[in-house]
A and B are shown apart, each in its own frame.
Chain A
Amino acid sequence: MDFELLYRTTYPKVRAYARSMAAEADADDAVAETYMTAWRRQADIPRGAELGWLIGVTRRVLANERRSRRRVGALRALLGRQPPLAAPDPASRIEDGELRAALLRLAPLDREAVVLTAWLDLSSADAARALGITPAAYRMRVARARRRLRADLRTETPLESPQWHTS
């Protein structure tokens, strides 16, 4: 494997994923940790899904950082019980309030699947690998998520709201 080629071709999206999920310092740390892991475990990187594998590692590193920080918060008893957090939640970084609310109504993995697709334009193989699921499960989750989001985010246009005039 040409590691330098792998690095140069995947770095932009790995970095974009990390920066879209976490603060800059944490994101950059996660990217460094990801490529250190990739360097050690080159034989484990699957052909044809290298980007998905790398994003999967980044996802786990960021999740670990969040888990560590959340335990600190719980011990300090500042916020009381907190909901379980898995991977970094893309919805937490979205400013579009209506969209964020709709995404939060999805199952966490469905949410990640549909956002990863839109934000990073990953192939099914890469996205499935990043999320640790099969490509078929990934396509099912994206389809289900889109169906539910479409139902939640209905648009109204003047043509859809006819005004009945009576005399």
Chain B
Amino acid sequence: MAYLMNDELDRRIRAALPPVEAAEPDVALLARVTARPREAVRRRRRAAPAAALVAAALAAFLFLAVRGPEQATAIEQALRWFDPPAGTVLHTRAVGTLGEREVWVSADDPSRMRVVERRDGVTVAFGVREVYDGARDTIYMATGEGKAVAGVAKPGQHDSGAAKRPGDEPRVTKRDATAAGKASLPLAAGGDPVVSKVRALLAEGDAVVRGRERHDGADAWAITLRPGADRPAWTLWVSAEDGRPLAMHDPGDPARGKPGGDTRWTAYEVLGPEALQSVREAHPGARVVRDDAAYLAALERLGH
């Protein structure tokens, strides 16, 4: 038996690369990106106190928001809600296909966020390398320090060594624990995926204002995809008063295996930086387990 040399191995992996046709840099995308305001850059160059900057940003934002969008500016107004000013926290609460989901995310760093999901009366919360299981009132935190569990968690035995708790315990194999100990941990989330997706689609310039409608009892602008865009036409409804997002319908793309969904925002607001709490700050009385394998097992158990 002969072993593959590195060159041979690399050639084989390279040959397995899915075909991607070469393309020149998208000039239209560059133009749309560089047309965006650079709030973050301006903020960093100022020497003013942070609180004054946030207050100024919020004041400017609210001034623009309460003017009310004309049809021609409805998309720009909506985009401001999806791309809030630097130094702020976007807070949303949505119900729909994904159940009920509440998100606080930093406008400066989407990886800094807290997500709360409510399923069947149980609260589950996710943060940066921490997850809260409401059914057990326990926060599982990743250490990323290569610490494996002490021994192997057996069914019915809690992996932190605390008293036994009822319910099924995930069976964590030694290999899983070792892998977890190598800090191969899930990424921090990158912001609310619905918000991120809509922001990208709006920024790409493929959206048009379909017209003014009544949606769920509210006076709204309906924004949808430009005809001819190579994707199913989703619809976003924003308040005709201030451009605040109200709801979205994504028909999905069954031919590409992409499911659709409906989202209705019951809260959508831009807050100061103090609004973003960690999972621990939000659940101060919960038990805390600092263990990479337990953290991974909790993510799997909670379907994240």
Contacts and interface: CB of A to CB of B under 8 A. Distances in A.
B269 interface: no
Interface residues of A, number: 79
Interface stretch (B39-47, B70-78, B153-161, B216-224): B39-47
Size range of the interface on B? 35 or more
12 contacts: A19-B18, A20-B17, A20-B20, A28-B204, A36-B199, A36-B203, A60-B110, A60-B111, A61-B196, A75-B99, A96-B16, A146-B6
A23 interface: yes
Interface of B: 1-6, 9-10, 12-18, 20, 22-23, 25-26, 29-30, 32-34, 36, 38-41, 44, 83, 86, 97-99, 108, 110-111, 179, 182-191, 193-194, 196-197, 199-201, 203-204, 230-231, 253, 256-259, 261, 296, 299-300, 303-304
Contact of B38 (A40, A108, A109): A40
B2 A151 contact: no
A95 B86 CA distance: 43
A132 B296 contact: no
Contact of B258 (A12, A69, A160): A69
B98 A68 contact: yes
Contact of A84 (B33, B44, B186): B186
Given A64-B196, A75-B99, A153 B9 contact: yes
Contact of B304 (A31, A60, A67, A87): A67
Residue from A20, A84, A86, A109 having most chain B Cβ neighbours under 10 A: A84
Majority DSSP secondary structure for residues of A touching B = helix
Contacts of A101: none
Contacts of B16: 94-96, 99-100
A151 B34 contact: no
Contacts of B200: 29-30, 32-33, 36
Contacts of A7: 25, 30, 33
Contacts of A57: 190
Given A85-B186, A86-B187, A118-B14, 6 more contacts: A23-B257, A40-B36, A43-B40, A109-B184, A155-B2, A156-B2
